[in-house]
Structure 1
Amino acid sequence: MTHALMVPNLPAPGALGNIDSYIQAASRVPLLTEEQEQSLARRFRDDEDLDAARTLVMSHLRLVIAIARGYLGYGLPHADLIQEGNIGLMKAVKRFDPDRGVRLVSFAIHWIKAEIHEYILRNWRLVKVATTKAQRKLFFNLRSLKHSSNTLNPAEVQEVAKTLGVKPEEVVEMETRLSGQDVALEGSSEDDDRDSARLAPIHWLADSAAEPLDVMEAAQNVRLQEDGLHSALAALDDRSRAIVQRRWLVQDGEAATLHELAAEYGVSAERIRQIEAKAMQKMKASMQKMLGMAA
């Protein structure tokens, strides 16, 4: 018989005022036995028992903390990394199948890392730091492949490029981006020079998008675009809709290739490309018509 677990309601990282306090609180949450984990997972899967799901999440918070600690070198707050990892953990709990014979800890690692990776890339995307699968691999492995903190020499550049399957110039560019220094938005509090303080970036980084009317208009445009997308997709035939969704609207995992879809539908890759192009043209016309009517 599985004993009930007393699991506290733990606030988000940083809510306790100190990240160390959060880590200590998370470490006090009891670990689950395999029997307890299986029972809780089945309660959540079969009965939608949210208390069971909460217990599964809480008992694995220390796993998220350990994984997040490995990404501190990217200059992002530890609390934010943990919070994003917690989102990945919740996604893992939602998808966990207790009948697969795998412990949740093994299943959750992928989801936690994936969420943290996406968070890091979103924060570095201002400079388009990684836009392809190979560049992402380079981004997350470059530090570990460097033998020292010094700049890579030509031979090391070639070695890293060969190991990760990217171009040498991409290695050099990525290293330059990762070695860039942060610039303070505000002037130093110790600087009494008022002219220098006025030259701080915070004074010339105006954000017109923060105006209430602009924010409301942007939100309305987003809703119109989403409604237009759903309407345009609904107007397609089943095959065209499936191809567009699997090529461009994939939420988790990678988009399907033309050749993969060709094999699935028993046609050529060129035929899939033609169907996709025709469907995209039809959707574009439908969305433009809908946005024009709303203007």
Structure 2
Amino acid sequence: MSLETGSPRHFVKAAMAAPYLEREEEHDLAVSWRTDHDEKALARLAASHMRLVISIASRFRHFGLPMGDLIQEGHVGLLEAAARFEPERNVRFSTYATWWIRASIQDYILRNWSIVRGGTSSTQKALFFNLRRLRAKMARNGSGSPDPAMYEEIASAIGVSKADVELMNSRLSAPDTSLNAPVIESDAAAADRQDFLPCPQPLQDQTVSETIDTDRRTRWLHVALNELNERELRIVRERRLTEDGATLESLGEKLGISKERVRQIENRALQKLRSALLRDHERAVFVN
């Protein structure tokens, strides 16, 4: 019986009634499934471990998600464990499957607990579940919110930054809020929350102005480069206009001159460029 064809209660009763497997029988079923792809062997192996799935799923029932869905996701993890299990390692299948069942359930919770995707890395996932457990424990004990020292302790234990702990705690403290919701709930004409989000991008007029200035400077530079002779142009290009500028020594070897002579030619070329750029700039200002 599956969760689609029967009620969760009947499914749980059927799972609890499934017989346990002896070690040898479990090993034989695992070998049959791995070597011969025996579907009946897989079915018996999975059915005998559904009580393990239910037990692990029950630990996550406080996340507000249907118990039937948690069991279903745990069953997916159980089948994944069966596909990867290596019977020759002489390890009980339940020991190996526990990790896959728990991981499948946790992934399902992270996908459905909030519209905003969270816990995409293993450390973030550990932070999500450990911080929820800590908050639930403090609520039972009547404690308040975690203090900064507790944030530091959690961050150190899990391997994340204190800022990550504070951010996750703020996410767990309030439900999702639509950015299209009005700031004043009673006023339908009020501005949306998204209207008050700061935009990190520059203003359009600033972007256009920077684009125009960049194009103008590029044109001036190309015109100024025409003032240089062939050797000066080569030195400036290889020294100043490439990402990894050439050294004086390497250029001297290529040109057959000393590095001091390369430096002198470079300084003279830069002075020519400076004079040409100033002249073009003054001309542009005068025309404008």
With the shorter chain as reference, the TM-score category is 0.5 to 0.7
Choose which of 22, 30, 35 in structure 1 pairs with 2:19.
30
CA–CA distance in structure 2, aligned partners of residues 61 and 168 of structure 1: 39
Q: CA deviation at 1:68?
A: 0.8
Residue 100 in structure 1 maps to residue 97 in structure 2: no
Q: CA deviation at 1:46?
A: 2.2
Residue 167 in structure 1 maps to residue 167 in structure 2: no
- 1:241-256 alignment runs, 5 A limit: none
Scaled by the length of structure 2, the TM-score of the pair is 0.55
CA–CA distance in structure 1, aligned partners of residues 20 and 152 of structure 2: 45
Aligned partner of 2:99 in structure 1 is 110
Q: CA deviation at 1:54?
A: 0.5
Aligned partner of 2:6 in structure 1 is 16
Secondary structure of the corresponding residue to residue 126 of structure 1:
coil
Q: Which has the larger radius of gyration?
A: 2
What does the per-residue CA deviation read over 1:166-217, in whole Å, with 9 as the maximum and x for residues that have no partner?
222221221222233479xxxxxxxxxxxx9xx9xxxxxxxxxxxxxxxxxx
Scaled by the length of structure 1, the TM-score of the pair is 0.54
Q: CA 1:94–1:132 in 2, change beyond 3 Å: closer, same or farther?
A: closer
Aligned partner of 2:77 in structure 1 is 88
* Segments ≥4 residues shifted beyond 4 Å: none
Kindly indicate whether the alpha-carbon contact (under 8 Å) linking 1:145 and 1:160 is maintained by their aligned counterparts in 2: no
What does the per-residue CA deviation read over 1:116-158, in whole Å, with 9 as the maximum and x for residues that have no partner?
1221122246323223332111012113334502321222222
Secondary structure of the corresponding residue to residue 24 of structure 1:
helix
Secondary structure of the corresponding residue to residue 127 of structure 1:
coil
**Aligned amino acid, residue 65 of structure 1:** I
CA–CA distance in structure 2, aligned partners of residues 88 and 36 of structure 1: 22
Choose which of 16, 29, 36 in structure 2 pairs with 1:40.
29
Choose which of 121, 138, 141 in structure 2 pairs with 1:148.
138
CA–CA distance in structure 2, aligned partners of residues 106 and 114 of structure 1: 14
CA–CA distance in structure 2, aligned partners of residues 61 and 130 of structure 1: 27
CA–CA distance in structure 2, aligned partners of residues 160 and 45 of structure 1: 41
CA–CA distance in structure 2, aligned partners of residues 126 and 99 of structure 1: 43
**Aligned amino acid, residue 163 of structure 1:** A
Residue 75 in structure 1 maps to residue 64 in structure 2: yes
Choose which of 42, 46, 57 in structure 2 pairs with 1:53.
42
Q: Percent identity?
A: 41
Q: Please, which runs of 5 or more residues in structure 1 have no aligned partner?
A: 1-9, 184-195, 200-295
Kindly indicate whether the alpha-carbon contact (under 8 Å) linking 1:88 and 1:115 is maintained by their aligned counterparts in 2: yes
Q: CA deviation at 1:105?
A: 0.3
Q: CA deviation at 1:15?
A: 4.1
CA–CA distance in structure 2, aligned partners of residues 96 and 164 of structure 1: 28
CA–CA distance in structure 2, aligned partners of residues 65 and 163 of structure 1: 29
Q: Please, which runs of 5 or more residues in structure 2 have no aligned partner?
A: 178-184, 189-288
Aligned length in residues: 174
CA–CA distance in structure 2, aligned partners of residues 60 and 112 of structure 1: 11
Kindly indicate whether the alpha-carbon contact (under 8 Å) linking 1:87 and 1:115 is maintained by their aligned counterparts in 2: yes
**Aligned amino acid, residue 160 of structure 1:** I
Q: CA deviation at 1:32?
A: 0.4
CA–CA distance in structure 1, aligned partners of residues 159 and 15 of structure 2: 39
Aligned partner of 1:176 in structure 2 is 170
Secondary structure of the corresponding residue to residue 148 of structure 1:
helix
